[in-house]
Amino acid sequence: YKKLIIDFCNETKHYKNKIDIPGLFLPHGLSNYKNANKKYFYVGRDTNCWGSFNELITDFENNHIEKYIKENNNWPYHVDDFLKYTNNSAGGFWTIAGKLHLKLHGINESFRINPDIEEKHKKIFSEMGYGNLNSIETKQSLERREEWNDINQTIYWDIKSKSKRFDKLKFILE
């Protein structure tokens, strides 16, 4: 991703401090994903806040793209973070992904996903990967948080169009 991020930042750096939107979200796996026998990757639409576009550009200007990538991959990297974030809402991404992941591993128990889940289930959760179809949040997400009208929409659409290079299923498959 480093080269893609550098190219993206070169094309959008002039927007630094002119817009306040979340930064790029890159797909990744939890702590044991790379060692999983079968790799299951769950894909959502977009994040609900994620870092900061301005912080991404600052990291780029300071030649710290690796720092941005590391921070992107830091949460949730550990299962306990994932379990704390899951709110068990019927349509919540993490709830659906967690329950589906257990079912794909032959676990058909009915239970709430919570921090006190059995250790054997935590190992299974640690093998999950996740990403989004949109690396930059959608207009609808910004509207839902009532942020859409506060941003320069022309700048947003230019950044969004330049982020399309990250919105490819091939990156998840690779």
Residue with tokens 């550098």: 6
Q: What is the pLDDT of residues 53-74, one digit of tens each?
A: 999 999 999 999 999 888 887 7
Q: What is the pLDDT of residue 15?
A: 98
Residues of the chain with pLDDT under 70: 75-78, 82, 85, 87-91, 110-112, 114-116
